[in-house]
Structure 1
Amino acid sequence: MTQQHEDPAKLVLVEKRGATTIVTINRPHKRNCVNGPTARALYQAFLDFDKDDTAAVAILTGAGGNFCAGADLAAILNQDEANPMDNQWPPNELPGPIGPMGPSRMVLSKPVIAAISGYAVAGGIELALWCDIRIVDPSAKLGVFCRLRGVPLIDGGTIRLPQVVGRGVAMDLMLSGRAVEAEEALKIQLATCYPPSYDKVNPTPALEQALAFADELAKHPQTCMRNDRLSTHFANPIREAMLKEFELGMETLTSGEFQQGIQKFFDSNKEKRAKL
């Protein structure tokens, strides 16, 4: 299904539940892959959340059983659907400009929880890493799958993943492109469950866990919590690193190497559909 068959107003759904704002990527037929219009809708949703005085916590999730399977590869060759690829990033601009996946360059004043069911891979894991906390259920599958297609991490993945899991584990995941199931995600502290655990996967759907966690966070003294959180973000400035990542990523994209990987991906999908 191409973008012209989609309702732009429904690419991203926003729901308020008390002090919690739920932002849902709503392209289940694409495993919630993000194209340009979806990236812009996500960016706007988080701009609105940050300005909303009645909202304390946001949850980012995906419709139809998957979090996000990355950038929409079919959109790369379609100018109307292509993801934003601007390298302009004013140093003192907050909450920050739009990134290829939407909000990935933003520094918000309030916490965001990723509720991960199903795939959170490629650009999807970059969105999850942008969030402050990642909550998984047994269906979660994370990974740098774009490694297998020759598509670079271009939205903070090479910077945030080592910050979260350490350089050694990050190198394993980034270089191999292998899948990380929910149990391993807990062990390497890439994700948690609620109640907080790095040992045992909670069978409750990730969104339900995230809602319970968000309710807890909303009850805390907000000024203190938000300032402590912001201090952590500002202690790890990533703007320059992300600009270098973007520069190297664009070099990869202009090399043309990724086109073969993408074509193999589409050909493989055609073969699978033909056998059904």
Structure 2
Amino acid sequence: MYRQCLNKLHQTVKLQPIGNALCVCNRKLTLDPQSEPAVDPITIDKRDKVTLIGLNRPGSRNAVNRDMARQLTVAFLAFEQDNSSNVAVLHGKGDHFCAGYDLKELAHSESGIDEETMNHLHNVHGAMGPTRLHIKKPVIAAVNGYGVAGGLELALLCDLRVFEESTIVGVFNRRFGVPLVDGGTVRLPALVGLSNALDLILTGRAIDSEEAIRIGLANRVVKDGEALSFAVELAKEISHHPQMSLRADRDSAYNAMFNSTSKKESLDYEMNHALDVVAHESIAGAKRFKDGEGRQGVA
């Protein structure tokens, strides 16, 4: 399915060079494409009802270039269409999650963003890939090493974030004059509050996993080397719940946070989108409860 979606996107979308970029971390990065073997920049793996989507430029700390962004979008679209998969886990191959957008690619741009490129950024995907999408099924980020600038924005795209103890995140693009264009200014305040978000956005400072979980940016912190396996187990747990009600509740929460204009509108949306779930999933669940499942037969 991933290959079919990629071929279709290649046929229907002519992408222009992307003039927006997110950024790199403090340490020296090797971003020269010539230094890396010719491999797929995105890997796909299936485990039970979980799809693993891997960022696969480890020699560049998984910095995202145009082709990688396009293929990452395709991977998420394929995941959405895959009825056998309920949850995705986004992770980075190697020692780091993602160092942001490939600034060496941006450095070759002389004249900024033309109109056609701007249209693609708005209508096809963000600079980092699927960041303008509302993905309809849960996604968990397994964040190891650096997850900075655009890499942080990819983590923010996900519903839950599993950090390792040594994980470092931050808006490192601040020092290079590169704006957040992949949802960072939208999703970060919603997750950690405006004050904490502005602290990170304005200073560009690095924060560790301890601070990340304290402010609500990380949902779990695990030992180094365990983020992916933990995220997969968490995804499997989520994937085994009845999915119709789970997705309706998830969608309602996002609507209340980002789309609704009032409390009443949020409550109406929640109720209206729950009614169909009751008929198709809740009654059967109530019968299982009545028969003793989960309650050891207690009425």
**If the TM-score is normalised by the length of the shorter chain, which range does it land in?**
0.7 to 0.9
Residues 240-276 of structure 1 show CA distances to partners (whole Å, capped at 9, x for unaligned) of xxxxxxxxxxxxxxxxxxxxxxxxxxxxxxxxxxxxx
Distance in 1 separating the partners of 2:180 and 2:121: 18
Within a 5 Å distance, the mapping from 1:196-235 to structure 2 comes to: 201-203=221-223, 205-235=226-256
Please give the root-mean-square deviation of Cα atoms over the aligned residues, in Å.
2.2
Q: What per-residue deviation string (whole Å, max 9, x for no partner) do you get for residues 169-198 of structure 1? A: 0011111111110111110110121xxxxx
Q: Does 1:86 align with 2:107?
A: no
Aligned-residue offset at 1:236: 3.4
Structure-2 residue corresponding to 1:260: none
Q: 1:89 to 1:230 in 2, by over 3 A?
A: farther
The equivalent position to 2:146 in structure 1, one of 119, 129, 132, is 119
How far apart in 1 are the matches of 2:65 and 2:218?
25
Over 3 Å counting, the alpha-carbon distance change for 1:138 and 1:165 in structure 2 is same
Return the alpha-carbon distance in structure 1 between the equivalents of residues 223 and 153 of structure 2: 24
Cα distance in structure 2, aligned partners of 1:5 and 1:29 = 8
Larger Rg, first or second structure (1 or 2) = 2
* Distance of 2:94 and 2:88 partners within structure 1: 19
TM-score, normalised to structure 2, is: 0.70
User: Residue 262 of structure 1 corresponds to which residue in structure 2?
Assistant: none
Tell me the TM-score normalized by structure 1. 0.76
Aligned to 1:263: none
Residues 54-73 of structure 1 mapped to structure 2, 5 A cutoff: 54-73=84-103
CA contact (8 A) 2:62 2:98 kept: yes
**In terms of mean alpha carbon deviation, does 118-127 or 5-14 score higher?**
5-14
Alignment partners' CA distance in 1, 2:124 and 2:38: 21
Distance 1:86 1:225 in 2: 35
1:141 is aligned to 168
Name the % identity: 45
Shift of 1:98: 1.1
Other-structure match for 1:259: none
CA spacing shift, 1:185–1:115, aligned 2, 3 Å: same
CA contact (8 A) 1:85 1:100 kept: no
Structure 2 residue 76 is matched with structure 1 residue 46: yes
What are the superposed Cα offsets for residues 197-218 of structure 1, whole Å, 9 maximum, x if unpaired? xxxx421611011011001101
Which structure 2 residue ranges, 5 or more long, are not aligned?
1-30, 260-299
Q: Cα distance 1:220–1:58, how it changes in 2: closer, same or farther (>3 A)? A: same
- The one-letter code of the counterpart of 1:109 is K
1:1-276 map, 5 Å: 2-3=32-33, 10-78=40-108, 85-87=117-119, 97-193=124-220, 201-203=221-223, 205-237=226-258
Q: 1:61 to 1:215 in 2, by over 3 A?
A: same
Q: Distance in 1 between matches of 2:76 and 2:118?
A: 19
**TM-aligned CA distance change 1:85 to 1:216, over 3 Å:** farther
CA distance in 1 between counterparts of 2:79 and 2:118 reads 23
Q: CA separation of 1:225/1:34 partners in 2, compared to 1, >3 Å: closer, same or farther? A: same
**Moved >6 Å (runs of 4+):** none
